[in-house]
């Protein structure tokens, strides 16, 4: 799953992360605790069951920093 991180250096590859789930009227979203990065909206049918994962990559582009984390499901 991909998350947007606003500032560099908050996470690094290999870090263990825990996420919290937020609920919108028609989607879920996930936040890496403590508010380090946030996912995009996730449809109900793609709800994530696992809450612990590991950072596998961090990419910087013109729009910011993007963290990819994998979770066991």
Per-residue pLDDT tens listing for the chain (73 residues):
999 999 999 999 999 999 999 999 999 999 999 999 999 999 999 999 999 999 999 999 999 999 999 998 7
Q: What are phi and psi of 11, to 5 degrees?
A: -135, 160
Count of domains in the chain? 1
pLDDT of residue 19: 97
Q: Which of 9, 16, 15 is nearest to 60 (CA)?
A: 9
Which pLDDT score is estimated for 71? 96
R_g over Cα of the chain: 12
Domain of 47 in residue numbering reads as 2-71
pLDDT given at position 73: 75
Nearest residue to 32 via CA among 72, 73, 3:
3
- The span from the CA of 51 to the CA of 8, in Å, is 23
Confidence (pTM): 0.91
Find the CATH number of the domain harbouring 40.
2.40.50
């Amino acid at each position: 799953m991909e998350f947007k991180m606003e500032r560099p250096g908050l996470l690094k590859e290999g870090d263990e992360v825990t996420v919290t789930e937020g609920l919108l009227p028609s989607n879920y979203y996930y936040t890496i605790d403590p508010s380090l990065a946030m996912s995009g909206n996730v449809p109900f049918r793609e709800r994530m069951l696992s809450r612990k994962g590991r950072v596998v990559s961090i990419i910087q582009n013109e729009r910011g920093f993007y963290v990819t984390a994998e979770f066991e499901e």
